[in-house]
A and B are shown apart, each in its own frame.
Chain A
Amino acid sequence: MADFEIKDLRASVEGRQILKGVSLAISKGEVHAVMGPNGSGKSTLSHTLMGHPGYTVDGGSVIFKGQNVLELEPDERARLGMFLAFQYPVVVPGISMTNFLRTALNSKRGYDGKDKSKQVTPKEFRSMLKGELEVLHMDDSFLPRYINDGFSGGEKKRAEILQMAMLKPEIAILDETDSGLDIDSIKFVAEAVNRMRGPELGILIITHYTRVLEFIKPDFVHVLVDGKFVLSGGPEIADRLEKTGYAEWGHTEEEPKEVA
């Protein structure tokens, strides 16, 4: 059995069914890409997996470490080892990135304000940050700023990957992490993700475009159309989509221009 098993997942938003039975097994060490046209259910998949309250689960299960994570709060899923890099990281005024990162790290370690031995020390925190910042070509000037406040699109996405690197998840979902990024930013992000690849991490990349997959090579590619997988296979599927787009499934949409 795989480490992370999505079985027949069905989910809806505001009464409209979006996911119509999605099954996917991810094991640690693997990189899976889910590709699909606009409106295919990609965002619903990522949000449902992480437990966003705006999405309703209508059926199915997601088994990770012996638990159906669909029954858990988002923070419990995260502490179990899941991570979602947001497509649109939110700006949260009033909370500094430092405070946010430190609290997240402490929560992950089970520090509840009592057992000081579980608390991340300032020294440890700084040294962890330093290494990751370098890889992502970020400087520490953003740390005292409020969460994602005034960050450019590229900075927001890099900050997401920074959080992933700090929290060391076992299953990471990267939701359209490439969208809105210029080619340099994609490379920095890909480099950071590739550094984390290894036997302890399973990755699910959700993307509309094949471009990011040139830098983060997937082991498996799944095509999501209208809430269901229509095709699954190896990386060659990405090449096929690169040429023909989603036309063979009736999606002849104009490819929206990439925004740098």
Chain B
Amino acid sequence: MGITAETLDQLQGEPGWLRDVRRNALDSYDRLPMPSKTDEEWRRTDVSRFDPSQFSKLEHLDGQKLVLPSALPEGVILKPLRQAAQEHPDLIEPRLFSLVHADRDRFTALHAAFFTGGTFLYVPDGVVIDQPIIGQHFSHEGGTSVLPHTLIVAGKNSKFHYLDEYIAEHDDEAGYRSGSTEIFLGEGSQVGYVAVQKWGRNVWHFADQRAELQKDSSLKLFNVTLGGRFSKTRVEASLAGEGSNAELKAIYFASGEQFFDFHTLQDHRVGNTRSDLLFKGALQDVSRTVYAGLIRIEKHAARSDAYQANRNLVLSDKAKATSIPMLEIDNNDVRCTHGATVGPVDPEHLFYLQSRGITKQTAKRMLIQGFFGDVLDRIPFEHARRLVEAELESRIG
């Protein structure tokens, strides 16, 4: 059985407009070509062996677990996305897939056609939620598709933290996974968003995390990528209002035969905007990573600041990290820096620690933890920080 219009029949009880969205996305999927090696974005990223028809069983329909703060302030909507689509079409229809376009490429189309659930969070104007909201997305078996989608709407001057956790019950599962997120930040809102991807080691994973920031809003986005045999993640911030500020941070830890690809975009569409990106990764064994990031300063975006750095710690001779920072600046009145490093543990650091009696193994572990230390400090809330530290700890060994 292929992944076809009949596959959509597994998704019952949705409003007509959503069925149309899915059908249109499926049309896009059928129409769009497979990315080719001549396409810059896919030059180092081989998707030729990805066959979604192997994974036509959709799992996790609304199966996420929401860990709520003890009481949600009045007016906050937090529910499974498919249910919310029924109950709040006015809030969802105009926004769903308006940041992560279904027809961007075959994979966003596939995700839009078959997304299996996920979360809708709406925080009204002026509402502040102190405790973090946590959405946990589980996969229970291999051979399936698990494609959650998160849609977050932050009202004016609202303030809150949200964590998406993607969890595999079996680390060796194969399958097709995604976990895309759209975040709309209203004027003056402050949003902390953390996504921790720990799907199984043999899955195909595609994710698009994109935020749009209105005037004076502030986003702290933190991506953690640990799972997948193949993982492609786009992290994009569209700075659409003056005074907006996007902090985009990520850590990744690749081992075995894992391949991770990150594409980032800091799109300064108006002036007086600021973005600060830091992606840090460690690679072991024969793993490979590709990072390509673009800072785009549009013509009228004067007095903008943009920073971008990608740092890779390569722990094995056979692992390979590629880093491609890019700038596209159409205004001269801006401050921009970007940089990339790829290298092993510094032998002078190792020698210094060993000269104090610390074994090579322990010294290496400390240096890897130290490498991630400054970026871990930027995880916007304590619960997520502890979670990520524990995950890293268990992988660094």
Contacts and interface: CB of A to CB of B under 8 A. Distances in A.
B326 interface: no
Contact of A93 (B356, B360, B373): B373
Given A95-B366, A167-B356, 7 more contacts: A74-B351, A75-B357, A77-B355, A78-B356, A90-B349, A93-B374, A100-B356
A75 B354 contact: yes
Interface string A160-182: 00010001000000000000000
Nearest to A82: B355
A243 to B, nearest CB: 36
A100 B373 contact: no
Contacts of A93: 370-371, 373-374
Interface residues of B, number: 24
Nearest to A89: B352
Contacts of B359: 75, 107
B355 A103 contact: no
Identify which of A74, A84, A86 gathers the most chain B CB atoms within 10 Å of its CB: A74
Given A54-B347, A95-B370, A99-B366, A90 B352 contact: yes
B367 interface: yes
A104 interface: yes
Contacts of B356: 75, 78, 100, 104, 107-108, 163, 167
A51 to B, nearest CB: 8
Contacts of A95: 366-367, 369-370, 373
22 contacts: A53-B347, A75-B353, A75-B355, A75-B360, A78-B354, A83-B355, A84-B355, A86-B352, A92-B352, A92-B353, A93-B373, A94-B367, A94-B369, A94-B370, A94-B372, A95-B369, A99-B366, A100-B366, A107-B358, A107-B359, A107-B362, A108-B356
B372 A167 contact: no
Identify which of B347, B353, B356, B363 gathers the most chain A CB atoms within 10 Å of its CB: B356
A50 interface: yes
B90 interface: no
Contacts of B370: 92-95, 146
A98 B369 CA distance: 15
A219 interface: no
Contact of A107 (B348, B351, B357, B371): B357
Nearest to A52: B351
Contacts of A75: 353-360, 363
Contacts of A53: 347, 351
A145 interface: no
Interface string B367-389: 10111111000000000000000
Contact of B355 (A54, A74, A146): A74
Interface in A99-117: 99-100, 103-104, 107-108
A117 B393 CA distance: 24
A73 interface: yes
A100 B363 CA distance: 9
B366 A78 contact: no
Given A74-B351, A99-B366, A108 B374 contact: no
Contact of B354 (A74, A92, A94, A167): A74
B299 to A, nearest CB: 38
Identify which of B346, B347, B351, B367 gathers the most chain A CB atoms within 10 Å of its CB: B351
Contacts of A54: 347
A94 B282 CA distance: 14
B355 A94 contact: no
Contacts of A84: 355
A95 B352 CA distance: 12
B349 A92 contact: yes
A95 B370 CA distance: 5
Contacts of A83: 355
